[in-house]
């Protein structure tokens, strides 16, 4: 019994130490495997939720819902910096959840909004995005849970592939396969046309405001391709990321392009919001292309900032992947 109790504690301590070890190290791979492929990861997730709630009276952000023309998007602040999202069609009160990692908080929001929860969209398997699936499936019998079959999503009922369409009444999503952070990572594009509003991208851990997710399982070339697919979306597409990382991401971006006025302007705006713990989402894809270094691997100043040389056009694909890798390594070490 003592040994069984000690194992989750050991995993927790090892997880805390991971930042000191490269992702190629044996220790990292062991702990990452335990976190993603065994019940110990779920126990660790529950520990994180309980630890946050016992030490904080308020959520990490004071969120503001986005409402327009019959659609309502509610960011839900979870644990230390996660966001789940509740998307509501106000006409029929049907709703869809994205990445509901804390079932208790989610149930409170669903009850408060008095909506019928139809589906859960899961971007990837990490417990801070999928940890509420089982409990919510038990609480809402028959709910559809979508996600990539590659990623071992908990309680998955509806596997999705690239470009699959998910419909719930007037709410329509398109699944976009975006490997890199995990092998099965998938983002969801909400069609704004039925409501005469911009599209919305729920990006999980692919794309953050001025950042991107760590490349835990894929290759830099895969992450680059995934980011490039997102960068061609309409510029007015709203970006709803999986974490509140905006301030630190923009501070990092400023070290890469110190003369980029869009970074400074956005950082000032974000810092003003964070003074009152306000959520910084959404941004737009057009905005991100002006200041997010991970969408700017083709920009000469960004290439030079990571110590690489501009190459002929026929070699750009490999160059851009190398730039992305270098940026990601620098961001991992940024304090």
By annotation, the residues acting in catalysis are 124, 126, 128-129, 181, 205, 243
Q: Is 302 helix (H, G, I), strand (E, B) or coil?
A: helix
Residue 27 exposure: Cα atoms within 13 Å on the Cβ side: 12
Tokens 């327009």 correspond to 68
Token pair belonging to 275: 């003074």
DSSP 103-154: HHHHHHHHHHHT-EEEEEE---S-HHHHTTHHHHHHHSTT-EEEE-GGGT-T
**Burial letters 264-289, b for 16+ CB under 10 A, else e:** bebbeebeebeeeeebbbbbbbebbe
Tokens 């065994």 correspond to 38
Strand bridging mode 165-168 / 171-177:
antiparallel
Token pair belonging to 180: 């890199």
Say how far apart CA 286 and CA 265 lie, in whole Å.
15
Task: Provide Rg for the chain, Cα atoms.
Answer: 20
Q: Greatest CA separation found in the chain?
A: 62
Say how far apart CA 48 and CA 34 lie, in whole Å.
16
Q: Name the phi and psi angles at 128, rounded to 5.
A: -75, 0
DSSP 175-218: EEE--SSSTT-EEEEE--GGGTS--EEEEETTEETTEE---SSS
Please, are residues 176 and 230 in contact by the beta-carbon 8 Å criterion?
A: yes
Token pair belonging to 278: 């306000």
DSSP 269-291: HHHHHHHTTB----EEHHHHHHH
């Amino acid at each position: 019994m003592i040994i069984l109790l000690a194992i989750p504690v050991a995993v927790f301590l090892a997880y805390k130490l991971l930042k000191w070890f490269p992702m190629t190290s044996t220790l990292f791979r062991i702990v990452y495997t335990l976190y993603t492929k065994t019940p110990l990861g779920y126990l660790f997730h529950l520990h994180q939720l309980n630890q946050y709630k016992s030490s904080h009276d308020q959520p990490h952000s004071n969120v503001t819902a986005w409402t327009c023309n019959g659609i309502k998007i509610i960011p839900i602040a979870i644990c230390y910096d996660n966001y789940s999202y509740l998307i509501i069609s106000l006409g029929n009160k049907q709703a869809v959840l994205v990445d509901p990692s804390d079932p208790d908080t989610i149930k409170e929001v669903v009850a408060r909004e008095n909506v019928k929860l139809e589906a859960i969209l899961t971007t990837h398997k990490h417990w801070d995005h999928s940890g509420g699936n089982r409990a919510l499936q038990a609480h809402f019998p028959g709910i559809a849970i979508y996600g990539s079959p590659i990623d071992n999503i908990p309680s998955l009922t509806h596997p999705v592939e690239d470009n699959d369409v998910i419909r719930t009444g007037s709410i329509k999503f398109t699944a976009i396969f975006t490997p890199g952070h995990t092998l099965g990572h998938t983002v969801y594009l909400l069609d704004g046309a039925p409501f005469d509003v911009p599209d919305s991208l729920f990006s999980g851990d692919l794309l953050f405001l001025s950042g991107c997710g760590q490349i835990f399982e894929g290759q830099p070339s895969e992450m680059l391709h995934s980011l490039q697919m997102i960068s061609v979306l309409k510029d007015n597409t709203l970006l709803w990321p999986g974490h509140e990382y905006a301030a630190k991401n923009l501070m990092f971006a400023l070290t890469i392009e110190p003369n980029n006025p869009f970074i400074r302007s956005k950082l000032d705006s974000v810092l003003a919001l964070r003074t009152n713990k306000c959520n910084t989402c959404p941004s737009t894809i057009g905005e991100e292309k002006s200041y997010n270094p991970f969408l700017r691997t083709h920009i000469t100043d960004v290439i030079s900032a990571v110590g690489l040389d501009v190459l002929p056009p026929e070699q750009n694909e490999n160059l851009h992947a190398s730039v992305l890798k270098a940026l990601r390594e620098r961001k991992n070490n940024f304090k």
